[in-house]
Structure 1
Amino acid sequence: MAKRLTKPTINWKEFDKLVPPDQRTNFLAFKAKSDNYLRRVQANPAELPKIDWKKYEAMVPVAGLVEKFKKDYEGLKVPYPVDNLTATIDEQWKTLQPEIKAYCDNAQKEIEIATKELEKIKSLPKFEDITMEMFYDLYPNEALDPVKRPTFWPHDEESQLGYEEKKAKKDAKEPQKKK
Protein backbone atom coordinates (compact mmCIF):
# COMPACT_ATOMS: atom_id res chain seq x y z
CA MET A 1 0.00 0.00 0.00
CA ALA A 2 1.28 3.48 -0.83
CA LYS A 3 2.15 5.76 2.02
CA ARG A 4 -0.44 8.31 3.09
CA LEU A 5 0.71 11.92 3.01
CA THR A 6 -0.26 13.61 6.25
CA LYS A 7 0.65 17.18 5.41
CA PRO A 8 0.53 19.11 2.14
CA THR A 9 3.80 19.17 0.22
CA ILE A 10 3.07 22.59 -1.30
CA ASN A 11 3.72 25.69 0.79
CA TRP A 12 0.69 27.66 -0.39
CA LYS A 13 1.56 30.80 1.60
CA GLU A 14 4.94 31.14 -0.10
CA PHE A 15 3.42 30.23 -3.46
CA ASP A 16 0.74 32.90 -2.94
CA LYS A 17 3.41 35.60 -2.46
CA LEU A 18 4.94 34.79 -5.86
CA VAL A 19 1.71 35.00 -7.86
CA PRO A 20 1.32 38.23 -9.87
CA PRO A 21 -1.95 40.12 -9.35
CA ASP A 22 -3.22 39.48 -12.88
CA GLN A 23 -2.82 35.70 -12.37
CA ARG A 24 -4.57 35.63 -8.99
CA THR A 25 -7.86 34.18 -10.25
CA ASN A 26 -6.04 31.35 -12.07
CA PHE A 27 -4.00 30.62 -8.94
CA LEU A 28 -7.12 30.49 -6.74
CA ALA A 29 -8.84 28.16 -9.23
CA PHE A 30 -5.78 25.88 -9.26
CA LYS A 31 -5.61 25.87 -5.46
CA ALA A 32 -9.33 25.03 -5.22
CA LYS A 33 -8.88 22.08 -7.61
CA SER A 34 -5.87 20.87 -5.64
CA ASP A 35 -7.72 21.15 -2.32
CA ASN A 36 -10.74 19.35 -3.77
CA TYR A 37 -8.53 16.50 -5.01
CA LEU A 38 -6.77 16.27 -1.63
CA ARG A 39 -10.16 16.11 0.15
CA ARG A 40 -11.31 13.30 -2.16
CA VAL A 41 -8.12 11.33 -1.48
CA GLN A 42 -8.36 11.91 2.27
CA ALA A 43 -12.00 10.73 2.27
CA ASN A 44 -10.83 7.24 1.30
CA PRO A 45 -9.39 4.97 3.98
CA ALA A 46 -5.61 4.61 4.15
CA GLU A 47 -5.81 0.81 4.22
CA LEU A 48 -8.03 -1.55 2.27
CA PRO A 49 -11.06 -2.77 4.22
CA LYS A 50 -10.66 -6.14 5.97
CA ILE A 51 -12.74 -8.92 4.49
CA ASP A 52 -14.38 -11.55 6.70
CA TRP A 53 -13.40 -14.60 4.66
CA LYS A 54 -15.03 -17.08 7.10
CA LYS A 55 -18.39 -15.48 6.52
CA TYR A 56 -17.99 -15.92 2.74
CA GLU A 57 -16.79 -19.52 3.14
CA ALA A 58 -20.02 -20.30 4.97
CA MET A 59 -22.18 -18.63 2.30
CA VAL A 60 -20.49 -19.81 -0.94
CA PRO A 61 -21.29 -23.43 -1.80
CA VAL A 62 -18.41 -23.93 -4.31
CA ALA A 63 -15.46 -25.48 -2.53
CA GLY A 64 -12.11 -23.69 -2.91
CA LEU A 65 -13.57 -20.59 -4.59
CA VAL A 66 -13.29 -18.36 -1.52
CA GLU A 67 -9.73 -19.60 -0.84
CA LYS A 68 -8.80 -18.77 -4.45
CA PHE A 69 -10.30 -15.27 -4.11
CA LYS A 70 -8.55 -14.80 -0.77
CA LYS A 71 -5.20 -15.84 -2.23
CA ASP A 72 -5.65 -13.56 -5.28
CA TYR A 73 -6.85 -10.64 -3.12
CA GLU A 74 -3.91 -10.85 -0.72
CA GLY A 75 -1.45 -11.37 -3.58
CA LEU A 76 -2.67 -8.28 -5.44
CA LYS A 77 -0.11 -5.51 -5.33
CA VAL A 78 -0.93 -2.27 -7.11
CA PRO A 79 2.31 -0.93 -8.54
CA TYR A 80 3.31 2.41 -7.09
CA PRO A 81 5.86 4.38 -9.11
CA VAL A 82 9.33 4.50 -7.59
CA ASP A 83 10.75 7.98 -7.10
CA ASN A 84 14.12 7.92 -8.80
CA LEU A 85 14.16 11.53 -10.04
CA THR A 86 13.97 13.54 -6.80
CA ALA A 87 17.70 13.15 -6.12
CA THR A 88 18.54 14.31 -9.66
CA ILE A 89 16.20 17.28 -9.38
CA ASP A 90 17.65 18.25 -6.00
CA GLU A 91 21.16 18.06 -7.46
CA GLN A 92 20.15 20.24 -10.43
CA TRP A 93 18.49 22.69 -8.05
CA LYS A 94 21.70 23.01 -6.02
CA THR A 95 23.75 23.65 -9.16
CA LEU A 96 21.27 26.31 -10.32
CA GLN A 97 21.27 28.22 -7.03
CA PRO A 98 24.31 30.41 -7.88
CA GLU A 99 22.80 31.30 -11.27
CA ILE A 100 19.47 32.15 -9.66
CA LYS A 101 21.18 34.29 -7.02
CA ALA A 102 23.21 36.12 -9.68
CA TYR A 103 20.06 36.71 -11.75
CA CYS A 104 18.16 38.00 -8.71
CA ASP A 105 21.05 40.30 -7.75
CA ASN A 106 21.22 41.65 -11.31
CA ALA A 107 17.45 42.14 -11.39
CA GLN A 108 17.59 43.96 -8.04
CA LYS A 109 20.27 46.32 -9.41
CA GLU A 110 18.10 47.02 -12.45
CA ILE A 111 15.11 47.65 -10.18
CA GLU A 112 17.15 50.14 -8.16
CA ILE A 113 18.28 51.93 -11.34
CA ALA A 114 14.69 52.04 -12.65
CA THR A 115 13.43 53.29 -9.27
CA LYS A 116 15.98 56.12 -9.30
CA GLU A 117 14.96 57.00 -12.86
CA LEU A 118 11.29 57.00 -11.85
CA GLU A 119 12.03 59.27 -8.90
CA LYS A 120 13.95 61.59 -11.24
CA ILE A 121 11.00 61.64 -13.67
CA LYS A 122 8.52 62.27 -10.85
CA SER A 123 10.62 65.22 -9.68
CA LEU A 124 10.37 66.90 -13.09
CA PRO A 125 7.81 69.64 -13.65
CA LYS A 126 4.59 68.72 -15.44
CA PHE A 127 4.69 68.58 -19.23
CA GLU A 128 2.33 71.55 -19.45
CA ASP A 129 4.59 73.67 -17.23
CA ILE A 130 8.01 72.94 -18.76
CA THR A 131 9.63 75.44 -21.13
CA MET A 132 12.24 74.89 -23.84
CA GLU A 133 14.84 76.52 -21.60
CA MET A 134 14.00 74.18 -18.72
CA PHE A 135 14.23 71.19 -21.10
CA TYR A 136 17.63 72.43 -22.32
CA ASP A 137 18.85 72.75 -18.73
CA LEU A 138 17.61 69.24 -17.83
CA TYR A 139 18.64 67.44 -21.03
CA PRO A 140 21.33 69.44 -22.87
CA ASN A 141 22.21 66.58 -25.26
CA GLU A 142 18.62 65.95 -26.40
CA ALA A 143 17.44 69.57 -26.62
CA LEU A 144 17.70 71.60 -29.79
CA ASP A 145 20.64 73.99 -29.64
CA PRO A 146 20.51 76.41 -32.59
CA VAL A 147 23.79 78.06 -31.59
CA LYS A 148 26.11 75.09 -31.01
CA ARG A 149 24.34 72.46 -33.12
CA PRO A 150 22.04 74.06 -35.71
CA THR A 151 19.77 71.64 -37.56
CA PHE A 152 17.22 71.74 -40.35
CA TRP A 153 13.58 70.89 -39.90
CA PRO A 154 12.39 68.15 -39.10
CA HIS A 155 15.57 67.94 -36.98
CA ASP A 156 16.25 64.25 -37.59
CA GLU A 157 19.52 62.68 -38.74
CA GLU A 158 18.45 62.01 -42.33
CA SER A 159 17.42 65.63 -42.99
CA GLN A 160 20.77 67.16 -42.05
CA LEU A 161 23.61 68.27 -44.31
CA GLY A 162 26.38 65.75 -44.79
CA TYR A 163 24.16 62.74 -44.08
CA GLU A 164 25.26 59.56 -45.89
CA GLU A 165 23.22 56.41 -45.96
CA LYS A 166 24.79 53.42 -44.31
CA LYS A 167 25.86 51.45 -47.38
CA ALA A 168 26.91 48.37 -45.45
CA LYS A 169 23.34 47.78 -44.28
CA LYS A 170 21.93 48.53 -47.72
CA ASP A 171 24.37 46.13 -49.40
CA ALA A 172 23.59 43.38 -46.91
CA LYS A 173 19.86 43.63 -47.65
CA GLU A 174 20.21 43.44 -51.46
CA PRO A 175 20.98 39.98 -52.91
CA GLN A 176 24.06 39.72 -55.16
CA LYS A 177 23.31 39.39 -58.88
CA LYS A 178 24.95 36.57 -60.84
CA LYS A 179 26.83 37.44 -64.01
Structure 2
Amino acid sequence: MAKRISQSSINWAALAERVPEHQKPQFIAFKSKADNYLRKVQQLPDAPPKLDWAFYKAKVPVPGMVAEFEKSYSALNIPFPADTVSGQLDSQEKEIKQDIEKFKTESNARIEEYKKQLAHLASLLPYDQMTLEDYRDAFPEDALDTLNKPTFWPHAPEDQLGYVDKTEAPSKH
Protein backbone atom coordinates (compact mmCIF):
# COMPACT_ATOMS: atom_id res chain seq x y z
CA MET A 1 0.00 0.00 0.00
CA ALA A 2 1.22 3.49 -0.78
CA LYS A 3 2.41 5.85 1.90
CA ARG A 4 -0.34 8.18 3.13
CA ILE A 5 0.29 11.88 2.55
CA SER A 6 -0.57 13.73 5.73
CA GLN A 7 0.99 17.11 5.15
CA SER A 8 2.94 19.01 2.53
CA SER A 9 6.67 18.42 2.53
CA ILE A 10 7.27 21.90 1.10
CA ASN A 11 8.43 24.69 3.38
CA TRP A 12 6.11 27.34 1.95
CA ALA A 13 7.41 30.15 4.20
CA ALA A 14 11.01 29.66 3.07
CA LEU A 15 9.90 29.40 -0.54
CA ALA A 16 7.79 32.57 -0.27
CA GLU A 17 10.82 34.54 0.90
CA ARG A 18 12.62 33.72 -2.34
CA VAL A 19 9.79 34.58 -4.72
CA PRO A 20 10.33 37.93 -6.47
CA GLU A 21 7.68 40.56 -5.87
CA HIS A 22 6.41 40.51 -9.46
CA GLN A 23 5.78 36.72 -9.26
CA LYS A 24 3.84 36.72 -5.97
CA PRO A 25 0.41 36.31 -7.66
CA GLN A 26 1.59 33.20 -9.55
CA PHE A 27 3.13 31.81 -6.35
CA ILE A 28 -0.09 32.34 -4.39
CA ALA A 29 -2.12 30.64 -7.14
CA PHE A 30 0.29 27.68 -7.18
CA LYS A 31 0.20 27.33 -3.38
CA SER A 32 -3.59 27.45 -3.44
CA LYS A 33 -3.76 24.63 -6.00
CA ALA A 34 -1.28 22.53 -4.00
CA ASP A 35 -3.25 23.08 -0.78
CA ASN A 36 -6.55 22.16 -2.49
CA TYR A 37 -4.99 18.98 -3.85
CA LEU A 38 -3.65 18.04 -0.40
CA ARG A 39 -7.09 18.64 1.15
CA LYS A 40 -8.75 16.40 -1.45
CA VAL A 41 -6.22 13.63 -0.81
CA GLN A 42 -6.73 13.90 2.94
CA GLN A 43 -10.51 13.58 2.56
CA LEU A 44 -10.14 10.18 0.92
CA PRO A 45 -10.03 7.09 3.16
CA ASP A 46 -6.71 5.39 3.89
CA ALA A 47 -7.93 2.01 2.71
CA PRO A 48 -10.66 0.87 0.31
CA PRO A 49 -14.06 0.35 1.91
CA LYS A 50 -14.76 -3.01 3.59
CA LEU A 51 -17.52 -4.93 1.89
CA ASP A 52 -20.12 -7.01 3.73
CA TRP A 53 -19.78 -10.20 1.69
CA ALA A 54 -22.33 -12.05 3.85
CA PHE A 55 -24.97 -9.49 2.84
CA TYR A 56 -24.24 -10.07 -0.85
CA LYS A 57 -24.18 -13.89 -0.42
CA ALA A 58 -27.65 -13.69 1.08
CA LYS A 59 -29.03 -11.47 -1.73
CA VAL A 60 -27.35 -12.91 -4.88
CA PRO A 61 -29.04 -16.16 -6.01
CA VAL A 62 -26.18 -17.41 -8.25
CA PRO A 63 -24.04 -19.83 -6.22
CA GLY A 64 -20.29 -19.08 -6.13
CA MET A 65 -20.58 -15.69 -7.82
CA VAL A 66 -20.10 -13.65 -4.63
CA ALA A 67 -17.25 -15.95 -3.51
CA GLU A 68 -15.52 -15.37 -6.87
CA PHE A 69 -15.98 -11.58 -6.58
CA GLU A 70 -14.69 -11.68 -2.99
CA LYS A 71 -11.60 -13.63 -4.10
CA SER A 72 -10.96 -11.19 -6.98
CA TYR A 73 -11.53 -8.15 -4.76
CA SER A 74 -9.11 -9.36 -2.09
CA ALA A 75 -6.52 -10.22 -4.75
CA LEU A 76 -6.78 -6.75 -6.27
CA ASN A 77 -3.61 -4.79 -5.65
CA ILE A 78 -2.97 -1.44 -7.26
CA PRO A 79 0.77 -0.87 -7.19
CA PHE A 80 2.24 2.49 -6.28
CA PRO A 81 4.22 3.84 -9.25
CA ALA A 82 7.95 3.32 -9.02
CA ASP A 83 10.13 6.38 -8.53
CA THR A 84 12.12 6.73 -11.75
CA VAL A 85 13.01 10.42 -11.70
CA SER A 86 14.56 11.06 -8.27
CA GLY A 87 18.02 10.20 -9.58
CA GLN A 88 17.63 12.62 -12.48
CA LEU A 89 16.39 15.35 -10.16
CA ASP A 90 19.32 14.79 -7.79
CA SER A 91 21.83 15.08 -10.63
CA GLN A 92 20.11 18.24 -11.92
CA GLU A 93 20.15 19.67 -8.41
CA LYS A 94 23.91 19.06 -8.15
CA GLU A 95 24.49 20.74 -11.53
CA ILE A 96 22.35 23.71 -10.56
CA LYS A 97 24.14 24.05 -7.22
CA GLN A 98 27.48 24.08 -9.06
CA ASP A 99 26.15 26.76 -11.42
CA ILE A 100 24.93 28.79 -8.44
CA GLU A 101 28.31 28.55 -6.71
CA LYS A 102 30.07 29.58 -9.92
CA PHE A 103 27.71 32.55 -10.29
CA LYS A 104 28.33 33.53 -6.65
CA THR A 105 32.10 33.51 -7.05
CA GLU A 106 31.88 35.49 -10.31
CA SER A 107 29.48 37.93 -8.68
CA ASN A 108 31.74 38.38 -5.67
CA ALA A 109 34.66 39.11 -8.02
CA ARG A 110 32.53 41.71 -9.85
CA ILE A 111 31.46 43.21 -6.52
CA GLU A 112 35.09 43.60 -5.45
CA GLU A 113 35.91 45.27 -8.78
CA TYR A 114 32.95 47.63 -8.38
CA LYS A 115 34.03 48.44 -4.83
CA LYS A 116 37.47 49.39 -6.15
CA GLN A 117 35.87 51.60 -8.78
CA LEU A 118 33.64 53.23 -6.16
CA ALA A 119 36.63 53.81 -3.88
CA HIS A 120 38.46 55.45 -6.79
CA LEU A 121 35.47 57.66 -7.57
CA ALA A 122 35.08 58.58 -3.90
CA SER A 123 38.73 59.63 -3.78
CA LEU A 124 38.23 62.11 -6.62
CA LEU A 125 37.15 65.70 -6.30
CA PRO A 126 33.41 66.26 -6.72
CA TYR A 127 32.57 66.99 -10.35
CA ASP A 128 31.25 70.45 -9.56
CA GLN A 129 34.67 71.37 -8.09
CA MET A 130 36.83 69.80 -10.85
CA THR A 131 38.69 71.84 -13.39
CA LEU A 132 39.37 70.52 -16.89
CA GLU A 133 42.89 69.63 -15.78
CA ASP A 134 41.56 67.66 -12.79
CA TYR A 135 39.17 65.81 -15.09
CA ARG A 136 42.00 65.04 -17.54
CA ASP A 137 44.11 63.66 -14.68
CA ALA A 138 41.24 61.51 -13.36
CA PHE A 139 39.89 60.27 -16.73
CA PRO A 140 42.66 60.57 -19.36
CA GLU A 141 40.82 58.36 -21.87
CA ASP A 142 37.69 60.55 -21.82
CA ALA A 143 39.20 64.02 -21.48
CA LEU A 144 39.66 66.43 -24.36
CA ASP A 145 43.25 66.57 -25.60
CA THR A 146 43.38 69.78 -27.63
CA LEU A 147 47.09 69.44 -28.45
CA ASN A 148 47.37 65.83 -29.62
CA LYS A 149 43.79 65.19 -30.78
CA PRO A 150 42.02 68.48 -31.52
CA THR A 151 38.25 68.23 -32.04
CA PHE A 152 35.46 70.50 -33.19
CA TRP A 153 32.67 71.74 -30.97
CA PRO A 154 30.49 70.06 -29.60
CA HIS A 155 33.31 67.43 -29.43
CA ALA A 156 31.01 64.44 -30.04
CA PRO A 157 32.49 61.71 -32.27
CA GLU A 158 29.78 62.09 -34.93
CA ASP A 159 30.60 65.80 -35.30
CA GLN A 160 34.26 65.24 -36.19
CA LEU A 161 35.92 65.14 -39.59
CA GLY A 162 36.24 61.68 -41.09
CA TYR A 163 33.51 60.17 -38.90
CA VAL A 164 31.99 56.96 -40.31
CA ASP A 165 28.80 55.61 -38.77
CA LYS A 166 29.40 51.92 -38.04
CA THR A 167 25.70 51.11 -37.76
CA GLU A 168 24.92 52.10 -41.38
CA ALA A 169 25.35 49.53 -44.13
CA PRO A 170 28.16 50.41 -46.54
CA SER A 171 26.96 51.91 -49.82
CA LYS A 172 27.32 49.80 -52.97
CA HIS A 173 28.67 52.48 -55.36
* Alignment TM-score, normalising by the size of structure 1: 0.69
Q: Deviations over 1:62-104 (max 9, x none)?
A: 2222122212222223343210221232234335433321112
| RMSD between aligned residues | 3.7
Larger deviation, residues 146-155 vs 94-103: 146-155
CA distance in 1, matches of 2:113, 2:68: 76
Using the TM superposition, give the Cα deviation of residue 47 of structure 1 relative to its aligned residue in structure 2, in angstroms: 1.0
> Which residue of the partner structure matches residue 37 of structure 1?
37
> Which residue of the partner structure matches residue 90 of structure 1?
90
Larger deviation, residues 90-99 vs 61-70: 90-99
> Which residue of the partner structure matches residue 74 of structure 1?
74
CA distance in 2, matches of 1:16, 1:116: 35
SS at match of 2:62: coil
Using the TM superposition, give the Cα deviation of residue 165 of structure 1 relative to its aligned residue in structure 2, in angstroms: 6.9
Residues 103 and 153 from structure 1, CA distance in 2 versus in 1: closer, same or farther, beyond 3 angstroms? same
Larger deviation, residues 62-71 vs 12-21: 62-71
Q: Is the 8 A contact 2:151 2:160 kept in 1?
A: yes
Which consecutive residues of structure 2, in runs of 5 or more, have no partner in the other structure? none
Q: Is the 8 A contact 2:6 2:42 kept in 1?
A: no
CA distance in 2, matches of 1:55, 1:89: 50
Larger deviation, residues 144-153 vs 87-96: 144-153
> Which residue of the partner structure matches residue 55 of structure 2?
55
Q: Which protein, 1 or 2, shows the higher relative CO under an 8 Å CA cutoff with sep ≥ 6?
A: 2
Q: Is the 8 A contact 2:5 2:42 kept in 1?
A: no
CA distance in 2, matches of 1:7, 1:83: 20
CA distance in 2, matches of 1:79, 1:115: 60
> Which residue of the partner structure matches residue 157 of structure 2?
157
Residues 141 and 38 from structure 1, CA distance in 2 versus in 1: closer, same or farther, beyond 3 angstroms? same
SS at match of 1:82: coil
Larger deviation, residues 99-108 vs 133-142: 133-142
Which consecutive residues of structure 1, in runs of 5 or more, have no partner in the other structure? 175-179
Residues 46 and 71 from structure 1, CA distance in 2 versus in 1: closer, same or farther, beyond 3 angstroms? same
- Please state if 1:106 is matched with 2:130: no
- One-letter amino acid of the counterpart of residue 56, structure 1: Y
Q: Is the 8 A contact 2:53 2:66 kept in 1?
A: yes
Q: Is the 8 A contact 1:136 1:144 kept in 2?
A: no
SS at match of 1:7: coil
> Which residue of the partner structure matches residue 25 of structure 1?
25
CA distance in 2, matches of 1:6, 1:115: 50
* Aligned residue pairs, count: 167
SS at match of 1:106: helix
* Alignment TM-score, normalising by the size of structure 2: 0.71
